Amino acid sequence: MNVVMAGVGGQGIILASDILAEVAMRHGYDVKKSEIHGMAQRGGSVMSHIRFSEKVFSPVIPEGECDILLSFEELETARYLDFLRPDAWVLINRYRLPPPTVSIGKEMYPEVEGIVREKTRRIVFVDAGDIALSLGNKRVLNSVLLGVLSTLLEPDTDTWEQCIAERLPEKVRDVNIMAFRMGRDIRQENKVRGG
């Protein structure tokens, strides 16, 4: 299984990829992980490859072999479409961080859904930020997205929740587990629409 997580600095991508790697290891898989941090402190591009199987030899996912792209920011989705298999899943957080050319009015922010549909029909959009805010903590959006992701993978819910609880300080454990569960509910409610 090849998973790419992509977004911008400050969204909790590295933590989310660490949790996925731990969940996969506890499920008995060999796991390899690679990450690239851009200007993460300033909202720069951040990307992580997580690979797990009976035996994994390289941490880097070759182009055309990604099974799931989990995108924390809409435009970042487009950067990694060449990694996708033809039948890959693309989970997209509805969040836009306009690049400078858009901010100064030289270009329009592209509609990502049409671009992604050229590669796959298995697309799920998630308003993870709104869900996080409804829980009173905007920083739990990565747990919402992990909940959505978990519905596409084998490990059971208990393993996910245990790994989330162990990686986070006690004061934010409960809200992150609630966010994870809400993410699972979103995906289960939208199974038909998402493919």
pLDDT tens digits, 46-75: 899 999 999 999 999 999 999 999 999 999
Distance CA(105)–CA(98), nearest Å, equals 10
pLDDT band at 195 (very low <50, low <70, confident <90, very high): very low
Q: What is 48-81 written as a DSSP string?
A: EEEEEES----SSPPTT-EEEEEESSHHHHHHTG
pLDDT greater than 70 at residue 148:
yes
Q: Reply yes or no on domain 2-194 having CATH 3.40.920.10.
A: yes
Side-chain half-sphere CA neighbours of 65 within 13 A: 12
Q: Which residue has the tokens 């934010």?
A: 172
Taking residues 28-39, report their average pLDDT: 85
For the chain, domain boundaries: 2-194
Collapse the DSSP code of 2 into the 3-class scheme (helix H, G, I; strand E, B; otherwise coil) and give the result. Answer: strand
Does the pTM surpass 0.75? The reply is yes
Cβ contacts of 174-179, under 8 Å, gap ≥ 24: 175/135, 175/136, 175/137, 175/140, 176/140, 176/143, 177/143, 178/135, 178/140, 179/131, 179/132, 179/135, 179/137, 179/140, 179/141, 179/143, 179/144, 179/147
Q: What percent of the chain has pLDDT over 70?
A: 92
Write the CA distances from 10 to 20, 46, 86, 92, integer angstroms: 18, 9, 30, 17
Q: Is 49 exposed, middle or buried (0-12, 13-18, 19+ CB in 10 A)?
A: buried
CA distance 150 to 163: 12
C-alpha span between 173 and 139 (Å, rounded): 12
User: What are residue 55's phi and psi, to 5 degrees?
Assistant: -150, 130
At residue 113, the 3 state secondary structure works out as: helix
Q: What is the pLDDT of residue 190?
A: 58
The 10s digit of each residue's pLDDT in 69-113 is 999 999 999 999 999 999 999 999 999 887 777 788 888 878 889
